[in-house]
Amino acid sequence: MGYGVRVHVWGDYALFSRSEFKVERCSYDIITPSAAEGLLEAVYWHPGCRWVIDKIYVRKPIQFTSVRRNEIKSKVVPGNVLSVMKGSGKDISISSREEIVQRASMILRDVDYVIDAHFELTSKANDTDNPGKFKDIIMRRLRRGQCFHQPYFGCREFPARFELYDQEVVDTAYPDERRDLGYMLYGFDYTDPKDIQPMFFRAVLENGVLDLRDCEVLR
Amino acid sequence: MAEAIKNRYEFVILFDVENGNPNGDPDAGNLPRIDPESGYGLVTDVCLKRKIRNYVQAVKEEQNGYKIYIKEETPLNRSDNLAYEALKTDDKKIKEAKKNDPDIDLKIRDFMCSNFYDIRTFGAVMTTFVKAALNCGQVRGPVQIGFARSVDPISTQEVTITRVAITTEKDAEEKKTEMGRKNIVPYALYRAEGFISANLARRVTGFSEEDLELLWEAIINMFEIDRSAARGKMAVRELIVFKHSRELGDCPAYKLFDAVKIEREGDAGVPRKYSDYKVWIDNSAIPETVELMRKI
């Protein structure tokens, strides 16, 4: 393979929302492959490359805690913005007192993963792009702690610390154990931008390692 | 619009509370937020962002370019029904607009960023019209703040208070006073950590040097305009800023955060004031290219 990297990521909290509980959010037991991709994309991404997650090592026991916060339920409505851009003097701001909702989140605490991933070149790679170049940039950024923006665990309020992991053996929280985590979100299929489809897979932790190579993806 | 910032930043905010409730937990009857297993106090990121928004709103008074999108007070000239009708009719118009102008979503995004300080700073979620393939989507702002956590486990104290003014006539006939409760933290020092991505500033929201100065000012003064009966005495004690020499940064963020050390001073059993702590920075752990600034 050769173009693989092994990254150590850890943090105080994490929230990988289950798609079935996204109003009062509840996290999956571990990081999802798409969240791991997002994490790596925060460090380095280019239209000419695509991250593929191979393995996720779970290094700390799975622990939950709950946080309830005041949130707002509305979003920016482009139609309204457009009318203001055209000169109507409407106030388009959101009043948090009117739009308030209290929502609980079940979040993970004290998370620590090692991610094995590699990248593939896409059709958008141009002539000067080659795997060696991408690999060099990625390794440099990981060694120096550089990133496009600070990676995060599911939500931006849960920042992820990251470093290059250079050891052969990765210890996990669940050696000699098989844990079935049930169906998890694998990611989204964006091939048709007008019909974005979620993809799921059966997550099984073998000795604390989630192996995503050759895993069956269900749509 | 002013030029976007060119350096990556990390910052540590230390703030303390004296006899107050820095952030109530709606799950626990408005008790101060606490991590039930470790006893450390928490203040959520959104709580701090609210204070920053309030400060900017108070100082800039809705000046052009410094409007605040998510306000605490009800705007006077807004009717939800009207907005809803406008949305329905505009839904069609926007499809046409998209046909005539393929970059309309970017224009809408830039309009929001240039007018609203909080969107430029923290980002916003914009609705997407998938049918019209209009995708303003999620705007990620450059400034990212994590949960603040207390340096030591905190104890919360319930203070029972009485009032002589009775709400209803009926109650007034039966009793002279009513009991109420306040939950306070006698003293706690909290630490929050934040990140600023120059890339997101340059490519998405245009967060500028002036915006950055305003952010520091807002952080330093965020509790000065937030006095209330519940809060007690809150103050920002330290704002430590790490300025990287490059847009992508010079070293991992966690190394910089780890260099900020907070130790207990003296042998007071329980900390009750800021001088019970000593804050120092391990300069040897910080690369030479990273500029360290203590803003207070």
- pLDDT at res. B176: 81
- pLDDT at res. B37: 82
Closest-CA distance of chain B to residue A137, Å:
12
Q: Which of residues 175-214 of A touch B (CB under 8 A)?
A: 193-194
Q: What is the pLDDT of residues B236-270, one digit of tens each?
A: 999 999 999 999 999 999 999 999 999 998 777 88
Q: Is B73 close to A95, i.e. CB distance below 8 A?
A: yes
SS3 track for chain B: CCCECCCCEEEEEEEEEEEECCCEEHHHCCEECECCCCCEEEECHHHHHHHHHHHHHHHHCCCCCCECCEECCCCCCCCHHHHHHHHHHHHHHHHHHHHHCCCHHHHHHHHHHHHEHHHHHHEEEECCECCCCECCCEEECCEEECCEEEEEECCCEEEEEEECCCCCHHHHHHCCCEEEEEEEEEEEEEEEEEEECHHHHHHHHCCEHHHHHHHHHHHHHCCCCCCCCCCCEEEEEEEEEEECCCCCCCCCHHHHHHHEEEEECCCCCCCCCHHHEEEEECHHHCCCCCEEEECC
When pLDDT is averaged across residues B98-121 and rounded to a whole number, the result is 81
Q: Is some CB atom of chain B closer than 8 A to the CB atom of A100?
A: no
Q: What is the pLDDT of residues B192-225, one digit of tens each?
A: 999 999 999 998 899 999 999 999 999 999 999 9
Instruction: Compare B171 and B24 and report the one with higher pLDDT.
Output: B24
Per-residue pLDDT of chain A (219 residues; tens, 9 = 90+): 458 899 999 999 999 999 898 789 999 999 999 999 999 999 999 998 999 999 999 999 999 999 999 888 877 777 778 777 777 667 778 777 778 889 999 999 999 999 999 999 888 888 777 888 999 999 999 999 999 999 999 999 999 999 999 888 889 999 999 999 999 999 998 888 778 889 999 999 999 999 999 888 888
- pLDDT at res. A190: 85
Mutate to test the interface with A, among B10, B11, B27 (most CBs of A within 10 A): B27
Mutate to test the interface with B, among A77, A99, A106 (most CBs of B within 10 A): A77
Q: What is the pLDDT of residues B44-79, one digit of tens each?
A: 999 999 999 999 999 988 888 898 888 776 443 343
Instruction: Compare B205 and B175 and report the one with higher pLDDT.
Output: B205
Q: Does pLDDT of B1 surpass 80?
A: no
